[in-house]
Structure 1
Amino acid sequence: MYWNQAEDPDTITVPDDIVDLSFALDCRQLPVDHAYGLAAALLAVCPWMAAEPGIAIHGVHVAGSQNGWERPAHGTGNRLQVSRRTKLTLRAPRARVAELLAALPGIRCQVGDCPLTVGVGKVRPLSKETTLFARHVAAAPGETPQADESAFLHATAATLAALDIRMRKALCGRALALATPQGPILTRSLLLADLSGTESLRLQQHGLGPHRLLGCGIFIPHKGIDAVTSNG
């Protein structure tokens, strides 16, 4: 007889060696594709982040539509309308938390042609949720936007396996390119469901693939894969 008992989420301890830092944000607009500009602005204040493997910068996320406003197309020339509730979030090793909480509040910078001021930050633990979502995961070198999604998922499964994470249910989104001075970086969104609690925490801690400072490979909790499939 084989009996595989699912983990009880209440028995899982969330480690604090990697945490999220959520900062208030004073900013009216941002380019839709702001990954490179945001990273450059923060690296100007904390250049050590470029050599810190545990640091990741979440993209500033704004709802797809609000009060009749529709999210514009992806690109550096289009603008997101940023509300006062919108946060700037970094994922960071615990050893760097105090430094970031001291260095970032009060900085004023430009992301593209949009002024941005960072406010007070607070620490948030990683999530126990077992359905996770990444808005951007960098595609393999040489992959084109027209490439079959199955190739992306096959490569993802192999990368996850190296982290001892089994890919059971996965959905990837359409290809988007992040603009950088070195050329565009092709990415896809990725939702993973039915992870174990241990796998979920490991994935949040390690991330997936390169370009973490550009918001790639950072996983956050999601309400579930059923909502995606029912609306797809």
Structure 2
Amino acid sequence: MTEKLRDNPSASLPYINLSFSVTGESFPADHGYGLYSALTHWNHNLHHLEGLSIQTIAGIPDKQGKIYLTERSRLVIRLPYDQVPLVYGLAGKTLTIGNHTIHLGIPQIYRLQPTSKLKARIVTIKGYQEPEAFLEAALRQLEDLEIKGTIVVPVNEKGEAERKTIKIKRFTLVGFKLGVFDLSDEDSLKLQIYGLGGKRRMGCGVFVPFTNKRRII
């Protein structure tokens, strides 16, 4: 067991996804930082909550910097089960990011489920902005967590690595989509809990199961 696992007491607790329905019209496509800011404005204790991951909200992109929300759009917050009371109060709240407003419904609670294939919409690792070096750095992080799996950076229609960006205040971070396959049940849960890279409170490095549903970002 690595030092990172031993030093994090929350790792021994059951983790859950708290999934809030989202209603509204549109939302910024790059909203990881803005969403985190809105949530911490609502409850500043989220700044210090250990083991917190916040997934970005999916929708249909307009290719001009916005997404249109659908009936499947959800705000999913991943955290240790004993911390649920700190975020459950978001039910019924309205969040505003720039000129966009969304309303959150009553959340559903799901325990993390192991699966052999996981994906992350974007993973950012400081100092690694080129695909080959990034992949090597991501593999080292997997090894540090004692996770065994096959790691892949997907490519686009041009055969190029799927590079992604996230804007945080005046800075733009570069990352990549990432898939991890051939995971054991234990390693699958571990990767969902810890993720890879940084900025997991802003939607980066958060791993979810592959699905066959129509793709939305």
TM-score normalised per structure 1? 0.78
Partners of 2:139 and 2:151 within 8 A in 1 = no
Contact 1:157 1:167 in 2 (8 A): no
Whole-angstrom CA distance in 1 between matches of 2:45 and 2:145: 26
Query: Paired residue for 1:215?
Result: 203
1:84 to 64, 71, 74: 71
Q: Counterparts of 1:20-35 in structure 2 under 5 Å? A: 20-35=17-32
Look up the equivalent residue of 1:163 and give its one-letter code.
L
After superposition, the C-alpha distances for 1:133-190 in whole angstroms (9 at most, x for unaligned) are: 000111332x34xx2x121111111000010012324234422221111411211110
Instruction: String of CA shifts for 1:55-97, please: whole Å, max 9, x gaps.
Output: 111010125xxxxxxx333xxx621110123111100111111
- What residue number does 1:96 align with? 83
**Pairwise mapping of residues 36-75 of structure 1 onto structure 2 (< 5 A)?**
36-63=33-60, 71-73=61-63
Indicate which of 100, 103, 118 corresponds to 1:132. 118
Secondary structure class of the residue paired with 2:162: strand
Aligned 8 A contact 1:157 1:166 in 2: no
Does the CA-based 8 Å contact 1:134-1:218 persist in structure 2? yes
Unaligned runs of 5+ in 2: 1-11, 155-160, 213-217
TM-score between both structures, scaled by the size of structure 2: 0.83
SS state at 1:216 partner: coil
Other-structure match for 2:183: 195
Letter in 2 for 1:109: L
Q: Using a 3 Å threshold, how does the CA distance of structure 1 residues 100 and 90 change in structure 2: closer, same or farther?
A: same
- 1:111 paired with 2:111, answer no
Q: Contact conserved, 2:125 with 2:198, CA < 8 A, in 1?
A: no
- How far apart, CA to CA, are the structure 2 residues paired with 1:140 and 1:43? 24
**What is the alpha-carbon root mean square deviation over aligned residues?**
1.8
Q: Is the 8 A contact 2:153 2:162 kept in 1?
A: no
For residues 188 and 26 of structure 2, the distance between their equivalents in structure 1, rounded to whole angstroms, comes to 33
* Counterpart AA for 2:65: N
Residue 223 of structure 1: how far off its partner (Å): 4.2
Cα shift at 1:208? 1.1
Amino acid of the structure 2 residue aligned with 1:135: R
The residue number in structure 2 matching 1:66 is: none
The number of equivalent residue pairs is 195
Percent pairwise identity: 26
Q: Could you tell me which residue of structure 2 aligns to residue 181 of structure 1?
A: 169
Contact map agreement 1:169 1:194 (CA 8 A) in 2:
no
